[in-house]
Amino acid sequence: MSNIKYILGSFGDPDEMMHGIDKLQENNIKIHDVYTPMPIHGIEAKLGIKRSRLDVLAFFCGLTGTASAFALIYLTSVVDWRHNIGGKPALALPDFIPIMFELTVLFCAFSLVGAYYASTHLFPGRAPRVMDLRATDDRFIIAIDAKENAEHSVIDGLLKDAGALEVKYNERKYVSYE
């Protein structure tokens, strides 16, 4: 038994999986992570995942975009190289607004997605850390660290009671990659 690293409860139904999480937590069994083929609402509260702060970051990066656009236009067409266009004012704020808006969106979107990829470790070519290959297809997987939780038979029973179709004992953490 000592070679087992992770115990996986494989569910075919998201509601049964949620029930499984409740059951495990009632018995003080710590859940390593849950892998699902689609977003399941309410699961993050159960697993104590904190609220994302990406929105705050996006807001401030958006403001940086606004300021950068204004700085660019101001420094080029007001300070550095003033054009006389029919005697109209060089600091024509209404004309600056479209670009200020576009750069707000651009900075906001790129920093948001960049921060998301960085915080969840997504980047091209990263080795996928998959515990069960069906977790991206039709199975909802609860992963439990086998070393931290010694009573495997209890876990097995709880998972099966909650409706797990299958309980797997993985000797390797990630099955996906050789």
- For another protein, the binding residues (CB under 8 A) are 12, 14-15, 33-44, 47, 49, 52, 54-55, 58, 62, 72-73, 76-77, 80-81, 83, 85, 92, 95-96, 98-99, 101-103, 105-106, 108-110, 112-113, 116-117, 119-131, 133-138, 176
CB-wise, 138 or 171, nearer to another protein? 138
77-102: b or e for each residue (b if 16 or more CB lie within 10 Å)?
beeeeeeeeeeeeeeeeeebeeebee
CB-wise, 27 or 176, nearer to another protein? 176
Nearest distance from C-beta of residue 144 to another protein, angstroms = 14
Euclidean distance between CA atoms 75 and 60, whole angstroms: 22
Euclidean distance between CA atoms 118 and 99, whole angstroms: 28
Token pair for 137: 């297809």
CB-wise, 82 or 151, nearer to another protein? 82
CB-wise, 134 or 160, nearer to another protein? 134
